Structure 1
Amino acid sequence: MSTRPGRSLGRVLEDFGHTLLDLLYGDPDAAGGIGGVGIHDPHDEQHYPERAIVLGVGVHGTQETARLLRQLAATGATALVVRGPVDEAGALEPVVRETGVALLALTRGASWAQLAAMLRTQLAEGDVGEGEEQTLGGVPSGDLFALANAVATLLDAPVTIEDRRSRILAFSGRQDEADAPRVESILARQVPERYLRLHEEQGVFKELYLSRGLVHVPAPTLDDEVALPRVAVAVRAGDEFLGSVWAALREPLTPEREKAFLESAKLVALHMLRFRAGTDAENRLRADLVTTALEGGAGAVAALGRLGLVDGPTLVLAMGLAPEQGEDHAHVTAERQRLASALAVHLAAVQPRSAVALLGDVVYALFPVPDDTPAARERALQVASDFLARTGDRAGAVIGIGSVAEEPAALPRSRSNADRALRVLSDGRNGRRAASISDVYVDALLLELRDLAVANRDELSGPLARLVAYDARHNAHLVETLRAWLDAFGDVITASASVFVHPNTFRYRIRRVAEVGELDLQDPAARFAVMLQLRLLGPEA
């Protein structure tokens, strides 16, 4: 079992070992703690967490790597990860000594996205709030990687901890001593589909679900692949099946080790429950902190401090789902939670200090910006638009962006403006999926005026009331004619084409509008009054 801190570079290398990462140069013990994960983008402004481990996606060659190492040293980064193998790596050793930034290589075939997710999972312990570290069975509570290493030591064999869907939650060291299918599983964080089908056909999963003992799986034979035999044990909390632990064996387990494996499954269950509860508790705590910050009261400064957002301007993003007629409530709730998690991951990649929480039916994000400038607001809009483009139209999500809050007391106003922009977008008439309040201010104001008119039980009056009554009696389309004429700024040709009638017919109808409605269309005040009534209370308003 590791005694290294969970947020240290040494611990990352110990857990991910030669399966995912290789240390090229640098001293992991001298590197200190890791503050977060950053992704290098040469075409965008960079905002890394303090003491970041930076993923150099697309970084190639010694010159480019050396230049990036020096840039990262200025930001206080801990380590840089590049894709292996690294040609002429020896030329980079002096640069690593000069900068103090460790250089790691990601194994060929491994996914950058999977590495980022695994690193964030390992580093997430203690991100929000403070508290004393708890242990279960001598292992830090919820630390599945440390537990996997402890079990592997007991069995003298590499192990994986998997969830109910055979996704890899954690793995021990020494995976290079296993076989190619195990390494493939680690890299993909998922047992390969061909082996899942084989286990299903052989009844392995059925036996695992029903058995309270060890399940011995003979070496699978698929084409020319060579694999070791496995032994697995179910992880249960009462009658609930939480997952399983798998060991790849080069020799059978002794009776003592079999007993130890069975006993370890009970400890794994406690840690998996603690991990699940800790994640839920962290999400609730983060939601509470975001809520406190958005309220802007006495606790807002403290909440922003715990979220790491107290030192600079921030704006609020509000994401909602456009309503679908007859859609199942449970489906909408699940989709909303999925989008909240996806937005959190997306924002963490571009602005690690952002905070996301689902409050009621709306997903709120606190997004730090450098200042209150058009460029900063445009940056937030671009980030929101990029996220919506990735989720696709099927999700139906829209994002409203509030004003920039220079201080904590201004956050409630930013949230209110984000809600106002979100309401305009959710109305569906705007046609946009993301917008800042400055872009839709007039639309938001009209919606609020309509609310006021409805609250006061206002009714149509004057010329528009007379036209609506006349249309109801004679089916004359005078209101439609007036709306088209106003929208076209009095251009009869354009207006008549929009309602598909001959221009002469349209001219006749617009004269009837003036006569029946007793409306002076040459009077700007009269035109504005009827335009406003049409937008607020008119038919199809």
Structure 2
Amino acid sequence: MTNEASLGRVLEELGTTLLDVVCGDAKRSGDVGGVVIYDPLDEPELPANALVLGVGLHDPADLARVVTQLGAYGAAALVVRAPVAPDEELAAAARESGVAVLAFARGASWTHLAGMLRSLTADSGPDDAHTLGRIRSGDLFAVANSIAALLDAPVTIEDRNSRLVAFSSRQEATDPSRVQTILGRQVPEQYTRILEERGVFQAIYRSERPVFVAPLPVSDDAAQPPLPRTAIAVRAGDEILGTIWVIVPEPMSEERSQALYEAAQLVAMHMVWQRADADMERQLRAELVSTALQSGPGSLEAVRRLGLRDEPAVVLALTVVESAAEHALPAQLAAERKRLADAFAMHLTAAHPRAAAALIGDVAYGILPLLQEERAVLVATEFLARVGSRLRPLVGVGQLARDSSALARSRSGAERALRVLRSGSVSRQVALLDDVHVDALLIELADLVPRGDIPSGAVARIVAYDRENQTSLIETLRAWLDHFGDVAEASAAMYVHPNTFRYRLRRAAEVGRVDLKDADARLAAMLQLRLMKITDPGF
């Protein structure tokens, strides 16, 4: 399998709207080997000809040092946020190292850039891979450029939700809304709202032919007026997959309209193939990750096929649950899990080029080659800080696996930590098993207790008395145990006078017939109270 795109093709496809060459050789031969985020605190581990995203790098002196460092690892280019003013030191470092320096447009998302770069540099498959219209199946950037060349106009391909799928070159000659679409990889909300209000989408979806869209109304102080467009729906039978948008000054001639109509059919085939290919790839990756995490006979081969090595790694488990403010249908939960799993895989790969992740059931598992569990917690925390979700994503982190034979134990640890997070017994969203080990043990102990066996003994007697007499003796006992017998702190937590608290505590001991000076009696009561909270969260 070979990668599809060289550095030259990446620049050609994304154009100056997103990336611009600052210095260095942008025509470097060889396919891009991968996309990696630079971390100044870690020794870089790069595939050959890597594209390195220098998030946060801006000082020219730092850039020159990093470029020299990346040259020793065979990187192809360093991408940094614009504007970048190249001095002699940076230019010399780029020339001597062979690492090009690229400026990434302000306002655009690093996550979106990483996604587009990975789409362009994805493995193309065997030499006899399918082609549609002389273009490798699913390569929508190449399709967009072909349509742009055919119509002599800049083109974007969008999905049904107005998310940018691919775009052609020459976008610098367009209007602000098109530039914002490319930078954000999504049509701005104000423009989609206007299109919906004017019935533009309905007209496009009803028609099988291209539809001319007049310029959108904008404020009088707009720096540049919007340009008219022609759009056509992309269909697969009765299903609308997306749209093609072409910036043109006037309605197209019949000949050009026919060309766009035929192009839409070609785009539909590519989008269907891309979707099917993505589903097959997800399924294969899920099977490989599942096999690797079992640490069974076939795990070493699965690890090898995932691009991993027999090396130390940490397993992470991600899922999403309903938040207190949101209620989601099962289909919405499934869609959100799939979306977050894709973003999780991208984030882990950015953290380490050999990371692997896949959605298995309702949990996305990640295998992250690292030497420290704490580093995996940091990676997971950064992911949750960056990803947006209406629901509540949770990540459990397992113990360090010294080699692939220990991945099953790390997976079990990640699942146990994730179960603690799902139970709500801790308020955090990321947990390392070592930090919630006692909570995990209590949950597992609760599984072993037959229904109806809790509460029992002294605690059962106090609970029964409270229910019969509308008292709160069990809460008094719980507060006293939680505060290590400190009456002042326990009474303050219950907002009662210390003397009142002492009276209630004595009454609880009398009703329960329990000696609170006995360490075993205290342990039994505390354990039962914890198990009751797990089995009945409202208790």
TM-score in terms of structure 1 length: 0.85
Matched, 1:347 2:348: yes
Corresponding residue for 1:23?
A: 21
Corresponding residue for 2:139?
A: 143
Partner Cα distance (1:308, 1:404) in 2: 19
Matches within 5 A, 1:369-408: 369=370, 371=371, 376-390=372-386, 395-408=391-404
Q: CA deviation at 1:144?
A: 0.6
Distance of aligned partners of 1:306 and 1:508 in 2 relative to their CA distance in 1, 3 Å threshold:
same
* Letter of the 1:285 counterpart: L
> Alpha-carbon deviations, 1:164-189, whole Å to 9, x = none?
34443222233445566544543443
Partner Cα distance (1:498, 1:9) in 2: 63
Q: CA deviation at 1:414?
A: 1.2
Cα RMSD of the aligned pairs, angstroms, is 3.5
Q: CA deviation at 1:394?
A: 5.7
Structure 1 unaligned spans of 5+: none
Partner Cα distance (1:478, 1:191) in 2: 59
Contact 2:79-2:104 at 8 Å conserved across structures? yes
Partner Cα distance (1:505, 1:110) in 2: 62
Distance of aligned partners of 1:76 and 1:486 in 2 relative to their CA distance in 1, 3 Å threshold:
same
Partner Cα distance (1:516, 1:72) in 2: 72
Q: 1:116 aligns with which of 109, 114, 119?
A: 114
SS at match of 2:431: strand
Q: CA deviation at 1:403?
A: 1.0
Contact 2:229-2:249 at 8 Å conserved across structures? no
> Alpha-carbon deviations, 1:103-136, whole Å to 9, x = none?
223346655444333212222345xx87842101
Distance of aligned partners of 1:388 and 1:29 in 2 relative to their CA distance in 1, 3 Å threshold:
closer
Partner Cα distance (2:31, 2:168) in 1: 21
- Count of aligned residue pairs for this structure pair: 530
> Alpha-carbon deviations, 1:442-490, whole Å to 9, x = none?
12112212211126x6455544444445555555654444333333333
Partner Cα distance (2:494, 2:217) in 1: 71
Contact 2:3-2:123 at 8 Å conserved across structures? no
SS at match of 1:438: helix
SS at match of 1:87: coil
> Alpha-carbon deviations, 1:77-119, whole Å to 9, x = none?
1111234454345654432231121222334665544433321
* Letter of the 1:482 counterpart: L
Corresponding residue for 2:367?
A: 366
Q: 1:11 aligns with which of 1, 9, 12?
A: 9
Matched, 1:208 2:204: yes
Q: CA deviation at 1:9?
A: 0.8
Distance of aligned partners of 1:511 and 1:134 in 2 relative to their CA distance in 1, 3 Å threshold:
same
Corresponding residue for 2:515?
A: 520
Distance of aligned partners of 1:107 and 1:395 in 2 relative to their CA distance in 1, 3 Å threshold:
closer
TM-score in terms of structure 2 length: 0.85
Contact 1:178-1:228 at 8 Å conserved across structures? yes
SS at match of 1:489: coil
Partner Cα distance (2:266, 2:389) in 1: 44
Distance of aligned partners of 1:193 and 1:520 in 2 relative to their CA distance in 1, 3 Å threshold:
closer
Matches within 5 A, 1:469-488: 469-471=464-466, 477-488=472-483
Larger radius of gyration, structure 1 or 2? 1
Q: 2:421 aligns with which of 408, 425, 450?
A: 425
Corresponding residue for 2:291?
A: 292
* Letter of the 2:488 counterpart: I
Contact 1:347-1:354 at 8 Å conserved across structures? yes
Distance of aligned partners of 1:499 and 1:225 in 2 relative to their CA distance in 1, 3 Å threshold:
closer
Partner Cα distance (1:477, 1:166) in 2: 56
Q: 2:93 aligns with which of 89, 92, 95?
A: 95
Distance of aligned partners of 1:396 and 1:232 in 2 relative to their CA distance in 1, 3 Å threshold:
closer
Matches within 5 A, 1:177-188: 182-188=178-184
Matches within 5 A, 1:207-286: 207-217=203-213, 225=224, 229-249=228-248, 256-286=255-285
Distance of aligned partners of 1:434 and 1:252 in 2 relative to their CA distance in 1, 3 Å threshold:
closer
SS at match of 2:525: helix
Contact 2:160-2:243 at 8 Å conserved across structures? yes
Partner Cα distance (1:58, 1:23) in 2: 18
Corresponding residue for 1:72?
A: 70
Q: 1:445 aligns with which of 426, 429, 441?
A: 441
Distance of aligned partners of 1:335 and 1:21 in 2 relative to their CA distance in 1, 3 Å threshold:
closer
Partner Cα distance (1:264, 1:69) in 2: 42
Partner Cα distance (2:59, 2:82) in 1: 11
Contact 1:47-1:350 at 8 Å conserved across structures? no
Corresponding residue for 1:434?
A: 430
Distance of aligned partners of 1:337 and 1:64 in 2 relative to their CA distance in 1, 3 Å threshold:
same
Partner Cα distance (1:463, 1:197) in 2: 64
Q: CA deviation at 1:70?
A: 0.5
